[in-house]
Homo-oligomer: A and B are copies of this chain.
Amino acid sequence: MGWMIDETGLGKTAANYVPLTPLSHLRRAADIFANRPAIAYGDSILTYATYTARVSKLASALVQLGVAPGDVVATILPNIPAQAESSFAIPACGAVLNTVNTRLDADTIGYIFGHGGAKVALVDSQFIPLAEAAIALMNVAPPILIEVPDIVAGIPATGRHHLYEDLVATGDASFDWIMPQDEWESLALNYTSGTTGRPKGVVYHHRGAYLATVGNQIAWRMTLHPVMLQIVPLFHCNGWTHTWMMPLLGGTAVCCRDITAAAIYAAIDDHRVTHFGGAPIVLNMIVNANDADRRTFDHTVEVFTAGAPPAAATLAAVAKLGFNITQVYGLTETYGPATECIWNAAWDDLPEDERAAIKARQGVLMPMMDDIVVLDDTMQPVPRDGTTQGEIGMRGNAVMKGYYKNAAETEKAFAGGYFHTEDLAVQHSDGYIQITDRAKDIIISGGENISSVEVEGALMHHPAVSLCAVVAAPDGKWGEVPCAFVELKTGRDVTEAELIAFARTRIAGFKAPKRVVFCELPKTSTGKIQKFELRKLAATP
C-alpha cells in the first residue's frame, strides 16, 4: 500500500490517466503508420489510413442504424477484411462485438442471437441462409441482418438484405469514436463451443484485451511491422486478439478465407508472412501438401500452435520446411493463449524425440497473466515433479469478466480466486506445465485413470496414423475402456489388431485402446476434434 504521507493533488486527471483499450492501437497507427499496409486480401491492400477511415464510417453508420453503447452487434464472417473492420468499428461505437462461429447450426446461432440480444448482425453471403434459418427459430426480437458479399472469393449477394458496402458508404470518416470511460467496460462477447448444453457467453473487457495484445506481442517475439497470416478464425477468441494487436506494431494482417496448404504457402511467398497461429491440423496440412501447392521461401516463419500438442514427427517435418513451432495454451476465457513453451537454447542439442517432447509442453505464463498453478483437490499447488496431476488454475488481467447472464457459472469458474480451466496437467521441475487431459476426457478404467492424451501420443507414433482421438467407451466389466478413432495417411494402411499391438509396445496394456475405428474425425471450425461426437459413436457397439 504505497500511498505517501501526502497525496494531495496526485489523483487521476485527463493528462495522466487513459482507460486501456485496443482501440487506442488503431487510433495511433492511423496517424503514425498511415501509409503502411494494414490489411491484405487477394490483390487488395488497405493502408492504415484507409482502414481506419472505413472503421470510422462503419461505426458511425452503426450508430445511425440505432446501435447504442452497450448494445451487442454480432458477426458471422470468415477472416475477411470486414471481420477486421468490425473488430474495431463495433467497439468504436461503444457496442459489444459478438463474433459467431460460422460452423454452428441454426438452432445454436438463434440461441446466441437471443441470449446476447444482438441488435445487428453482419453476415457473409455464404452464411446468410444459416442466419435466416437461425432467425426463423427465434422467439425474441432478431438482429437486423447486414449482408457482406465477398467479391474476392466470388461469393455474390443474395439480394435479400442491406449490403455492407452501402452501409459503410453512409458513414462519416471523421466520426468521433466512443472510447471507454472505464477500462472494465465490455468489449466482446464470445460464446464457447459448448461440448455439452448451451454455449456460455464469455465477456471480455477493454483492459484485458489491451493487455493481451501486449502480452501476445512479447510472447510471439514480434517487433515492428510483422506480417500475420490470419488462420485462427477471428470468431475464436477474436483471433487470439491479434487483429487488435497488429496496429500496435504497424503490422499487416493477411486475410485467409479458406485454410488450405496452397493458400498458406502462397501467402508466405507473396506477402512474406512472418507469423501465424493455428491448430496442429494446420501443421499437418503444410507437411502433407501436394508439390503443386508448395512454395519455397528463405525466411523462418514463426508458428504458434494450440489445441493439442503437435506430434513429434510433424514437428520434425515442419522445421525442415522453414517453420519454427511454439506451443501455446489458453481458453476462450483467457482471451486465447495464456501460456507458451518458451524455448531454451540449452535444449537445441537434445535428440529430436526429446526436443519434440519438450515442444509438446504448454509451458509457462505469458507476460499479461499473473499466476498459473496446478491445483490438487484442496486448491493447493501440486509438487513440480512432472507426475502429480492437478487442475490448471490461472489468475491475471487476461481472464474474462465472467459468463454473460450466468453469475452462477462465473462464480464456480472463479472459486478460490483462480479461474478453473478444467484441464488436467502436471508441472515439471522447471515450472513448465504439460496438459495430461481435459478433466472430462479422462478415462476411468477399473478404477485407474487413463489419460486420453497419452494414448493418442502413443498411436501418433505409428507411421500410418495421420490423426487420432481416444475417448471412453462404456464397458460392462471395467466401467470405461479407451476407444480410438483414427485417420490414416493417404496410401498407408494398418489393421485394428496391429495398431492395438503397437500401442501396447509403448504404453501399459490397460491403457491401450480396446477398439479402433478408422474414419474421418469430426472437427470444429478451429480444427479441434469434437470428442463429444466420438463419445456418442463409442457408446454404440
The CA of A193 and the CA of B72, in the complex, are separated in Å by: 51
Q: Copies per complex?
A: 2
- What residues on B are CB-neighbors of A519 within 8 Å? none
Interface of A is mostly: loop
Q: Are B395 and A15 in contact (CB under 8 A)?
A: yes
What sequence of 0s and 1s flags, for each residue 172-213 of chain A, a beta carbon within 8 Å of any chain B beta carbon? 000000101110111101000000000000010010100000
How far apart sit A153 and B223, CA to CA, in the bound complex (Å)?
37
Q: Does A473 contact B (CB under 8 A)?
A: no
A111 at the interface (CB under 8 A from B): no
Using CB atoms, name the residue of chain B closest to A342.
B32
Most buried by B among A6, A9, A72: A9
Q: Is A381 interfacial (CB-CB < 8 Å)? A: no
B365 close to A28 (CB less than 8 A): yes
Contacts A223-B223, A342-B224 known; A404 to B4 CB distance under 8 Å? yes
Most buried by B among A15, A178, A248: A15
A489 within 8 A of B: no
B-chain residues with CB within 8 Å of residue A95 when the two chains form the complex: 2
A117 proximal to B (CB < 8 A): yes
Stretch binding the partner chain, chosen from A57-65, A236-244, A406-414, A475-483? A406-414
**Could you tell me if B96 and A4 are in contact, using CB atoms closer than 8 angstroms?**
yes
Q: Which residue of B lies closest to A249 (CB)?
A: B218
Q: Quick check: B94 and A186 within 8 Å, CB to CB? A: no
Is A405 in the interface zone, CB < 8 Å from B? yes
Contact A395 B2 (CB under 8 A): no
Closest beta carbon of chain B to A459's beta carbon, Å? 32
Beta-carbon nearest neighbor of A180 in chain B? B2
Do A70 and B404 have beta carbons less than 8 Å apart?
no
Interface residues of A in 1-52 (CB under 8 A from B): 1-18, 20, 24-25, 28, 31-32, 34
| Closest B residue to A95 using CB positions | B2
Query: Do B406 and A9 touch (CB < 8 A)?
Result: yes
- Indicate if the CB atoms of A181 and B16 lie closer than 8 Å: no
The 10 A-B residue pairs with the shortest CB-CB distance in the complex, in nearest-first order: A9-B407, A14-B417, A2-B185, A16-B399, A221-B223, A10-B401, A32-B364, A15-B414, A1-B69, A18-B370
Beyond A11-B402, A15-B414, A15-B418, 12 additional pairs, beta carbon < 8 A? A1-B94, A2-B91, A2-B94, A5-B117, A9-B408, A10-B203, A10-B410, A11-B401, A18-B397, A32-B431, A217-B218, A218-B248
